[in-house]
Chains A and B, each alone.
Chain A
Amino acid sequence: MTKYRINKTKFVDQTKTVSFTFDGKKYHGFEGDTLASALLSNGIHLVGRSFKYHRPRGIMSCGSEEPNAICQINDNTDLTEPNVRVTEIELYEGLKASSQNCWPSLNFDIGGINNLISPFLPAGFYYKTFMWPKSFWKKIYEPLIRLSAGLGKSPTQPDPDIYDHKHEHCDVLVIGGGISGIMSAKIAAKNNLKTILIEDKNTLGGSTIYQNNKNFIIDNQKSNEWLMNEISELEKLDNLIIKTRTSLAAFHSYNYLLAKENISDHLPLNKKNGSIRQRLWKIRADKVIVAAGAIERPLIFNNNDRPGIILANSVKKYLDFYGVSSGLNNTIFTNNDSAYETAVSLFEKGISVKIIDIRKKSSSNIVKNAKNLGIEIYWNSTVVNTFGYKKIKSIEIMNLSEDGSNVTGNKNKIQCDCLSISGGWTPMVHMHTQSGGKLDFRERDQVFVPNEKSENHINVGSCNGDFELEEIVKNTNNKVKKFLNINESGFDKISVLCSKELEKKNIWLLPNTISEGKTKSFIDFQNDSTAKDIKLALREGFKSIEHVKRYTTTGMATDQGKLSNMHALGIIADTAGVKMGTLGTTTFRPPFTPLTFGAIVGRSVGKFFDVVRKTSIHEWHVQNKAKFENVGQWKRPWYYPINSENLHEAVQRESKAARDSAGILDASTLGKIDIQGTDASEFLNRVYTNAWSKLGIGKCRYGLMLNEDGMVYDDGVTTRLGENHYLMTTTTGGAANVLSKLEDYLQTEWPELDVYLTSVTDHYSTASICGPNSKKILKKLFPDKDFSDEAFPHMSYQDAIIDKIECRIMRISFTGELSYEINIESKYGKSLWENCIKAGEEYKITPYGTETMHLLRAEKGFIIVGQDTDGTMTPIDLQMDWIVSKKKYDFIGKRSLYRSDTIREDRKQLVGLLTDDPNEILEEGAQIVSELDKKPIEMIGHVTSSYFSPNLNKSIALAVVKGGKKMKGQKLFVPMENKNINVTVSDFIFLDKENKRINA
């Protein structure tokens, strides 16, 4: 055993040695230790440097509230994790921990110079400095700030671990496995309620489980022994799930809670392999009982941050739970009785201990106990300074004045190697407030307690502000019974004896002989904000607690101010002369403790990140070396390079082939909606801008759909399959939204219409064949069919059969070429496609992708909704007046087409652009100007589509330009980074304006 491992406990197995390294040096601890207790057992307090001043910092607590002792674990491996609290890491064989925020080493840190220049780094210094000279920002200030920012190092490699999500439902969820949580869970589970008890530590029992003191007796047993029996009984209940190593992350409304379970974090490296690391539980509970406990407060005095200054109850836990003494010459500094339990415990184990109490006296049993043992107590005293750079060596104390606002008398120096501090307790009201609950301020002991209004959750134990054992046991029993509607419980006749605190005193910022400006009284240890910073913020005019918090960064570190928020509030209230209750608190936001990204995303990583939709022809595209493009969730062939072709070369070849002979496109991804019902025609009349009633059966029509604000929303061809049956196509990306919009109108505005909508996008695959030879290819595929223009004209459809499979052929064109789209049940899509390729071989049929499709339609001036439109374009802006029915009384968006704004003539309108240099291709998105000399230069529009057309042998572009309709022939400019490109406004139909090719 090491010098500091002075006690044997049942929680640490001292027969099982575990070795680990800290900053490269090998140490030993035992099974059951945390990294913190193992470090302390080796006499190590200094574990990190503070964020701003790089002051040496040590372990301060024993739980998730730890502000100082955070480290990097398993550095330089793919398992590395920064900012991990050493108080929460269970020790395992092979653990490698290293200190953070220090260079070149923890013991000698250059950044420590910040401590000396700290007068120049007050609160908000980064808002006040680095302002000039301006040129310094980019080259000097920013790189320097970035270099010094942050604490640990982010992993650079992908996380190899597996994370899980699990949904769970229960009648009662109990948060916290301390005494009140255990009692609550037992009452619930014994009454046939499905109960879950979660506890963030690896064992149940909270702080009572190591409360081995004769002043705290339940049913004639020491409270720890009584609780031990309760726990063993609890484990026998079968409708109770006990989840240890599980911490609550968030408490959302309607009792929806997230909890993170650590599954393999505590296992030795060689046993972690392949197992799930963490599991995020998504729990929907009928009732929630919060028994989250309380966190001990520090005291705020000069140089209160040295290694060796530890919260008093943590000192007790290290001693009575882990068997480790934080020092051999201990001094306790307190404002309340609970620290006396630590004193008694230390004394009983032979550790020298003195007590400094800011109160004038205390008449409780535990204090009498300490006095009787002969422990020296300095009443009405405060610590005014501490000494020791890397570990506390001594302190100076003084007497307090009558009202506690000042110090009097002489300084008294006391030697110590550990200072245990206790400023009272703060109930963990995070869960309560996260769920929407409000707080009340209790003057008596200066705490915020839950104001309970919810019927679905309660707070019990010390998180409810019950601090004394008797209060905790009795109130928990009564409250839980009432909450769960239970008449009797096994705890009704329980007897509790405990020490009761009678004298209370609290001073948020302890007085000193030297002025505040010269002290370093830390409030937020992790972010290095001091009482001085808070007062500066108030002097500078910040009043709201939320503003002071952000200006001073108090409470904004990875510990979320668990130790600092109350003192910040207290000092603000005292300084501003307001009551804490009226000041309120800052908002408690989830997660309670940091969550790993892995736990948040669970299995949704890599190929499970999002759904990938593939057409039934996908395999063929892959085999033929297509490059793919993501369109929504779809993978669409982008282009099919041959040999070493790049995008441009492939697209030029594909585009030429489609116009010279034949091209084929996989159009399966277009949205398809089956519309049936006696009012189907009327419905289309209302949703499209053009008229539909007279469309003959077997005919197709292009339709434009607007939003109610008159802006183009979607477009596509709809085919009349029967009297009351249509097949609508939508854009690939818009399919789901169009369906839900149409459903919305049907269900809410026009429920009288007899219309049924069904998405059939995935039901059919579509091969679109275009080009002058397409008719010949179709003839080969369907030898019995008459493809003459009379029998099968443009914009019509016919049923057909191929390989005994029914299909639909639509003669429609998005390229301006003679073109047919064959729709077949998806499972036959690939075989249809292969038949088409085979039939087209003699015409050198060329598969083309989305890029060529875009180029071909741009040559014809066909818009793409979402590329040439952006939700601010009306059909009139697009020069598509022809499609807007003047006769129809109403359709979606009609009224908006003559609002004062939509009839403006200087709206952006669709035009064609030709570059003066036909080989110059404009960049899509480039801005357009009419005058280069005008300052500020006025942007009058932008390029929406731009290509080099191999069929016209020149560059073409579509653009939207203010008042563009009247600008044909006008010269404009497209300013680029290095040059201005001269362009001329043109017609936006570049090829075959007479539509001859459609019937070629």
Chain B
Amino acid sequence: MFVINCPYCGERDQSEFSCGGEAHIVRPKQPTELSDDEWAEYLFMRKNIKGVQFERWNHAHGCRKWFNMVRDSSNDKIHAVYKMGEKPPAI
């Protein structure tokens, strides 16, 4: 049960948030021009690494805003929280 520093609301309990998986996977602008393999890469392939990873989170029971978070999945240490559209910090 970690504490997440929502970029809009401040520190809140993890129970207010939901995780949306790996961040920075951009929906292709022209999906129809992609091969099956390229589309599958976007649609299905996720890293889920043990260690520092970039994730999407939603303050579901709060402001309902989506944002990005850098979390170490091995010890839940949160390295950074930043708004959608902002550049990922160097970790």
Contact = CB atoms under 8 A, between A and B. Distances in A.
- The answer on A and B forming one complex is yes
Interface of A: 252-254, 256, 284, 436, 708-709, 740, 743-744, 747-749, 751, 889-890, 894-896, 899-900
Interface string B16-60: 000010000011001110101001100100000000000010101
A254 B76 contact: yes
B58 A744 contact: yes
B64 interface: yes
B66 A895 contact: no
A900 B65 CA distance: 36
B85 interface: yes
Given A740-B60, A894-B31, 10 more contacts: A254-B2, A256-B2, A740-B64, A743-B66, A749-B26, A749-B27, A890-B32, A895-B32, A896-B43, A900-B36
Given A744-B58, A744-B66, A890-B32, A896 B39 contact: yes
4 smallest CB-CB distances across A and B, nearest first, come from A895-B31, A256-B1, A254-B2, A747-B66
A173 to B, nearest CB: 15
12 contacts: A252-B1, A254-B2, A709-B43, A743-B58, A743-B66, A744-B58, A748-B56, A749-B26, A895-B39, A896-B39, A899-B36, A899-B39
A253 B56 CA distance: 20
B60 to A, nearest CB: 7
B80 interface: no
A253 B2 contact: yes
Contacts of A436: 75-76
Contacts of A708: 27, 43
Nearest to A739: B64
A254 B1 contact: yes
Contacts of B66: 743-744, 747-748
A902 to B, nearest CB: 10
A740 B13 CA distance: 20
Contact of A253 (B1, B13, B58, B60): B1
Contacts of B64: 740, 743
Contacts of B43: 708-709, 896
B39 A284 contact: no
A436 B3 CA distance: 16
Contacts of A747: 65-66, 84
Contacts of A253: 1-2, 75-76
Interface residues of B, number: 25
A894 B43 CA distance: 12
Nearest to A900: B36
A751 B85 contact: yes
Contacts of A254: 1-3, 76
A369 B20 CA distance: 67
B15 to A, nearest CB: 10
A284 B58 CA distance: 22
Nearest to B68: A748
A748 B84 contact: yes
A256 B34 CA distance: 46
Contacts of A256: 1-2
Contacts of A740: 58, 60, 64
Contacts of B34: 895
Given A254-B1, A256-B1, A284-B3, A751 B84 contact: yes
A711 to B, nearest CB: 11
B88 to A, nearest CB: 14
A436 B30 CA distance: 45
Contacts of A709: 43
A896 B84 CA distance: 26
Contacts of B20: 744
Given A252-B1, A890-B31, A899 B40 contact: yes
A284 B65 CA distance: 25
A254 B11 CA distance: 12
A780 B9 CA distance: 52
Contacts of A743: 58, 64, 66
Interface string B66-85: 10000000011000000011
A256 B13 CA distance: 10
Contacts of A749: 26-27
A284 B30 CA distance: 47
A837 to B, nearest CB: 38
Nearest to B38: A895
B84 A889 contact: no
Nearest to A282: B1
Contacts of A284: 3, 13
A64 B10 CA distance: 40
B32 to A, nearest CB: 6
A644 B41 CA distance: 59
B10 to A, nearest CB: 14
Nearest to A258: B1
Contacts of B39: 895-896, 899
Nearest to B64: A743
A748 B65 CA distance: 10
A252 B1 CA distance: 6
B54 to A, nearest CB: 13
A254 B78 CA distance: 10
A743 B34 CA distance: 26
A365 B34 CA distance: 82
A101 to B, nearest CB: 37
Nearest to A890: B31
A284 B12 CA distance: 11
A895 B30 CA distance: 9
A243 B28 CA distance: 57
Nearest to B40: A899
A743 B63 CA distance: 12
A743 B85 CA distance: 15
Nearest to B23: A748
B69 to A, nearest CB: 13
B32 A889 contact: yes
Contacts of A899: 36, 39-40
